[in-house]
A and B are shown apart, each in its own frame.
Chain A
Amino acid sequence: EFRRFSLERSKPGKFEEFYGLLQHVHKIPNVDVLVGYTDIHGDLLPINNDDNYHKAVSTANPLLRIFIQRKEDADYSAFGTDTMTRKKNVLSNVLRPDNHKKKPHIVISMPQDFRPVSSIIDVDILPETHRRVRLYKYGTDKPLGFYIRDGSSVRVTPHGLEKVPGIFISRLVPGGLAQSTGLLAVNDEVLEVNGIEVSGKSLDQVTDMMIANSRNLIITVRPANQRNNIVRNSRTSGSSGQSTESSLPSSTPNILANFLQGEEESDEEDIIIEDSGEPQQIPKAAPTSESLESLTQIELLHESTQNGFLPSSEMNLNHSAANVNVEYEVQDPDHKSLEEDGTIITL
Chain B
Amino acid sequence: MRRFLRPGHDPVRERLKRDLFQFNKTVEHGFPHQPSALGYSPFLRLMAIGTRSGAVKLYGAPGVEFMGLHEENNTVTQIHFIPGQCQLVTLLDDNSLHLWSLKQHGGASELREEHRFTLKGPPGSPPSATQITAVLPHSSREVLYLGTESGNIFVVELPSLRVLEDRTITSEAVLQRVPEDYCNRRSCELVEALREHPKNPDHILIGYSRGLIVLWDLHNSRVTHHFLGSQQLENLYWQRDGSKFISCHYDGSYTQWPVSSDNRQPEPLENLVPYGPFPCKAISKIYWQTTKNGLPYIIFQGGMPRASYGDRHSISVVHGSQQTAFDFTSRVIDFFIIFSSEPTAEFDDPSAMVVLAEEELVVIDLKTAGWPAVHPPYLASLHCSAITCSHHVSNIPLKLWERIISAGSKQNIHYSKMPWPIDGGTNIAPDPPQRDLLLTGHEDGTVRFWDASGVCLHLLYKLSTVRVFLTDADPNDNMNTVGEDEWPPLRKVGTFDPYSDDPRLGIQKIYLCKYSGYLAVAGTAGQVLVMELNDEDAEHIVDHAEADLLQDQEGYRWKGHEKLKTRDGPVRFEAGFQPFVLVQCQPPAVVTSLALHSEWKLVAFGTSHGFGLFDHQQKRLVFVKCTLHPSDQLALEGPLSRVKSLKKSLRQSFRRIRRSRVSSRKRRGGSGNASEVQEANAKFDQDALQEMELAPVQRKIEARSAEDSFTGFVRTLYFADTFLRDSSRHCPSLWAGTNGGTVYAFCLRVPPAERRMDEPVRAEQAKEIQLMHRAPVVGILVLDGRSTPLPEPLEVAHDLSKSPDMQGSHQLLVVSEEQLKVFTLPKVSSKLKLKLTALEGCRVRKVTVANFGSCKTDDYSENDLAVLTNLGDVQIISLPFLKLQIRYPCIRKEDVSGIASCVFTKYGQGFYLISPSEFERFSLSTKWLVEPRCVVDVPEVTSNNHVHNKSGMENAARKS
- Where the two chains meet, the residues of A that have a C-beta atom closer than 8 Å to any C-beta of B are 137, 143-150, 170-171, 178, 193-194, 196, 198, 201-215, 263, 267-276, 279, 282-286, 289, 327
Interface size classification for chain B:
35 or more
Known: A205-B842, A209-B838. A214 touches B701 (CB 8 A): yes
Q: In the bound complex, how far is the Cα of B871 from the Cα of A271, in angstroms? A: 30
Instruction: Let me know if B768 and A147 touch, CB within 8 A.
Output: no
Instruction: Let me know if B700 and A270 touch, CB within 8 A.
Output: no
Instruction: Let me know if B766 and A275 touch, CB within 8 A.
Output: yes
When distances are taken between beta carbons in the complex, the residues of chain B under 8 Å from A171 are 698
Instruction: Let me know if B765 and A203 touch, CB within 8 A.
Output: no
Q: Closest approach, in angstroms, between the C-beta of B537 and any C-beta of chain A?
A: 49
Known: A270-B770, A275-B765, A275-B766. A147 touches B703 (CB 8 A): no
Instruction: Let me know if B698 and A147 touch, CB within 8 A.
Output: yes
Say which residue of B702, B823, B827, B843 sits within 8 Å of A208 (CB atoms): B843
Q: Closest approach, in angstroms, between the C-beta of B887 and any C-beta of chain A?
A: 14
Instruction: Let me know if A214 and B702 touch, CB within 8 A.
Output: yes
Instruction: Let me know if B841 and A271 touch, CB within 8 A.
Output: no
Say which residue of B701, B830, B839, B871 sits within 8 Å of A207 (CB atoms): B701
Say which residue of B697, B772, B838 sits within 8 Å of A203 (CB atoms): B697
Instruction: Let me know if A170 and B696 touch, CB within 8 A.
Output: yes
Asked if B769 is at the interface of the complex by the 8 Å CB criterion, the answer is yes
Known: A267-B773, A272-B768. A148 touches B701 (CB 8 A): yes
Instruction: Let me know if A274 and B837 touch, CB within 8 A.
Output: no
Asked if B667 is at the interface of the complex by the 8 Å CB criterion, the answer is no
When distances are taken between beta carbons in the complex, the residues of chain A under 8 Å from B830 are 268, 270, 282-285
> Could you count the A-B residue pairs with CB atoms below 8 Å apart for me: how many are there?
131
Say which residue of A149, A213, A269, A276 sits within 8 Å of B838 (CB atoms): A213
Say which residue of A143, A145, A272 sits within 8 Å of B769 (CB atoms): A272
- Listed by A's residue number, 12 A-B pairs whose Cβ atoms lie within 8 Å are A150-B696, A178-B701, A193-B838, A194-B838, A206-B699, A208-B870, A214-B702, A215-B772, A270-B830, A272-B768, A285-B823, A285-B831
Asked if B824 is at the interface of the complex by the 8 Å CB criterion, the answer is yes
Asked if B938 is at the interface of the complex by the 8 Å CB criterion, the answer is no
Instruction: List B residues 254-289 near A (Cβ within 8 Å).
Output: none
Asked if B906 is at the interface of the complex by the 8 Å CB criterion, the answer is no
Instruction: Let me know if B829 and A327 touch, CB within 8 A.
Output: yes
Instruction: List B residues 779-830 near A (Cβ within 8 Å).
Output: 818-819, 821, 823-824, 827-830
Q: In the bound complex, how far is the Cα of B768 from the Cα of A146, in angstroms? A: 32
Known: A150-B696, A196-B839, A212-B775. A145 touches B770 (CB 8 A): no
Task: Flag B825-856 by CB within 8 Å of A: 1 or 0 each.
Answer: 00111110001011111110000000000000
When distances are taken between beta carbons in the complex, the residues of chain A under 8 Å from B699 are 147-149, 203-204, 206-207
When distances are taken between beta carbons in the complex, the residues of chain A under 8 Å from B770 are 270-273, 279
Q: Closest approach, in angstroms, between the C-beta of B873 and any C-beta of chain A?
A: 11
Q: Closest approach, in angstroms, between the C-beta of B570 and any C-beta of chain A?
A: 43
Q: In the bound complex, how far is the Cα of B726 from the Cα of A29, in angstroms? A: 48
Instruction: Let me know if B703 and A282 touch, CB within 8 A.
Output: no
Known: A144-B702, A211-B703, A213-B838. A267 touches B696 (CB 8 A): no
Instruction: Let me know if B773 and A215 touch, CB within 8 A.
Output: yes
Count chain A CB atoms within 10 A of each CB in B697, B701, B843 and give the residue with the most: B701
Say which residue of B701, B772, B831 sits within 8 Å of A271 (CB atoms): B772
Known: A194-B838, A282-B823. A205 touches B871 (CB 8 A): yes
The 6 closest A-B pairs by CB, nearest first: A205-B841, A214-B703, A212-B837, A207-B699, A273-B768, A149-B698
Say which residue of B771, B775, B837 sits within 8 Å of A209 (CB atoms): B837
A-B contact sample (14 more), CB < 8 A, given A211-B701, A270-B821: A137-B703, A207-B699, A212-B773, A212-B835, A215-B772, A270-B770, A270-B772, A270-B830, A271-B772, A272-B828, A274-B766, A284-B829, A284-B830, A285-B831
Asked if B3 is at the interface of the complex by the 8 Å CB criterion, the answer is yes
Count chain A CB atoms within 10 A of each CB in B767, B830, B838, B839 and give the residue with the most: B838
Say which residue of B703, B824, B839 sits within 8 Å of A215 (CB atoms): B703
Known: A144-B703, A285-B824, A285-B829. A206 touches B841 (CB 8 A): yes
Asked if B120 is at the interface of the complex by the 8 Å CB criterion, the answer is no
- Where the two chains meet, the residues of B that have a C-beta atom closer than 8 Å to any C-beta of A are 3, 696-704, 765-773, 775, 818-819, 821, 823-824, 827-831, 835, 837-843, 870-871, 893
Q: In the bound complex, how far is the Cα of B827 from the Cα of A285, in angstroms? A: 9
When distances are taken between beta carbons in the complex, the residues of chain B under 8 Å from A143 are 702-703
Count chain A CB atoms within 10 A of each CB in B767, B835, B870 and give the residue with the most: B835
Q: In the bound complex, how far is the Cα of B818 from the Cα of A212, in angstroms? A: 7
Q: In the bound complex, how far is the Cα of B827 from the Cα of A165, in angstroms? A: 48
Instruction: Let me know if A282 and B775 touch, CB within 8 A.
Output: no
When distances are taken between beta carbons in the complex, the residues of chain B under 8 Å from A170 are 696, 698
Residue in A closest to B768 when the chains form the complex, CB atoms: A273
When distances are taken between beta carbons in the complex, the residues of chain A under 8 Å from B823 are 282, 285
Known: A194-B838, A205-B842, A268-B830. A147 touches B773 (CB 8 A): no
Count chain A CB atoms within 10 A of each CB in B699, B831, B842 and give the residue with the most: B699
Say which residue of A209, A273, A276, A282 sits within 8 Å of B841 (CB atoms): A209
Q: Closest approach, in angstroms, between the C-beta of A249 and any C-beta of chain B?
A: 19
Instruction: Let me know if A289 and B3 touch, CB within 8 A.
Output: yes
Residue in B closest to A280 when the chains form the complex, CB atoms: B828
Q: Closest approach, in angstroms, between the C-beta of B123 and any C-beta of chain A?
A: 40
Known: A146-B701, A214-B703, A285-B830. A208 touches B841 (CB 8 A): yes
Q: Closest approach, in angstroms, between the C-beta of B625 and any C-beta of chain A?
A: 12
Q: In the bound complex, how far is the Cα of B828 from the Cα of A215, in angstroms? A: 22
When distances are taken between beta carbons in the complex, the residues of chain A under 8 Å from B704 are 211, 214
Q: In the bound complex, how far is the Cα of B812 from the Cα of A270, in angstroms? A: 14
When distances are taken between beta carbons in the complex, the residues of chain A under 8 Å from B840 are 196, 205, 209
Instruction: Let me know if A210 and B701 touch, CB within 8 A.
Output: yes
Q: In the bound complex, how far is the Cα of B704 from the Cα of A215, in angstroms? A: 9
Q: Closest approach, in angstroms, between the C-beta of A23 and any C-beta of chain B?
A: 39
Residue in B closest to A279 when the chains form the complex, CB atoms: B770
Q: In the bound complex, how far is the Cα of B743 from the Cα of A273, in angstroms? A: 10
Q: In the bound complex, how far is the Cα of B841 from the Cα of A204, in angstroms? A: 8
When distances are taken between beta carbons in the complex, the residues of chain A under 8 Å from B765 are 275-276
Q: Closest approach, in angstroms, between the C-beta of A170 and any C-beta of chain B?
A: 4
When distances are taken between beta carbons in the complex, the residues of chain A under 8 Å from B828 are 272, 274, 282
When distances are taken between beta carbons in the complex, the residues of chain B under 8 Å from A209 are 837-838, 840-841
Instruction: Let me know if A282 and B701 touch, CB within 8 A.
Output: no
When distances are taken between beta carbons in the complex, the residues of chain A under 8 Å from B696 are 149-150, 170
Q: Closest approach, in angstroms, between the C-beta of B228 and any C-beta of chain A?
A: 65
Q: Closest approach, in angstroms, between the C-beta of B835 and any C-beta of chain A?
A: 7
When distances are taken between beta carbons in the complex, the residues of chain A under 8 Å from B703 are 137, 143-144, 211, 214-215
When distances are taken between beta carbons in the complex, the residues of chain A under 8 Å from B773 are 212, 215, 267
Q: In the bound complex, how far is the Cα of B828 from the Cα of A283, in angstroms? A: 8
When distances are taken between beta carbons in the complex, the residues of chain B under 8 Å from A210 are 701
Q: In the bound complex, how far is the Cα of B842 from the Cα of A207, in angstroms? A: 10
When distances are taken between beta carbons in the complex, the residues of chain A under 8 Å from B837 are 208-209, 211-212
Known: A150-B697, A274-B767, A282-B828. A211 touches B772 (CB 8 A): no
Q: In the bound complex, how far is the Cα of B840 from the Cα of A138, in angstroms? A: 23
Known: A144-B702, A150-B697. A212 touches B838 (CB 8 A): yes
When distances are taken between beta carbons in the complex, the residues of chain B under 8 Å from A193 are 838
Q: Closest approach, in angstroms, between the C-beta of A117 and any C-beta of chain B?
A: 14
Residue in B closest to A137 when the chains form the complex, CB atoms: B703
Q: In the bound complex, how far is the Cα of B831 from the Cα of A206, in angstroms? A: 27
Count chain A CB atoms within 10 A of each CB in B766, B772, B818 and give the residue with the most: B772
Known: A208-B841, A208-B842, A284-B830. A267 touches B772 (CB 8 A): yes
When distances are taken between beta carbons in the complex, the residues of chain B under 8 Å from A178 are 701
Known: A145-B702, A285-B831. A269 touches B697 (CB 8 A): no
Q: Closest approach, in angstroms, between the C-beta of A221 and any C-beta of chain B?
A: 13
Instruction: Let me know if B829 and A273 touch, CB within 8 A.
Output: no
Q: In the bound complex, how far is the Cα of B696 from the Cα of A203, in angstroms? A: 12
Q: Closest approach, in angstroms, between the C-beta of A236 and any C-beta of chain B?
A: 31
When distances are taken between beta carbons in the complex, the residues of chain B under 8 Å from A146 are 701
Q: In the bound complex, how far is the Cα of B835 from the Cα of A327, in angstroms? A: 24
When distances are taken between beta carbons in the complex, the residues of chain A under 8 Å from B771 are 270
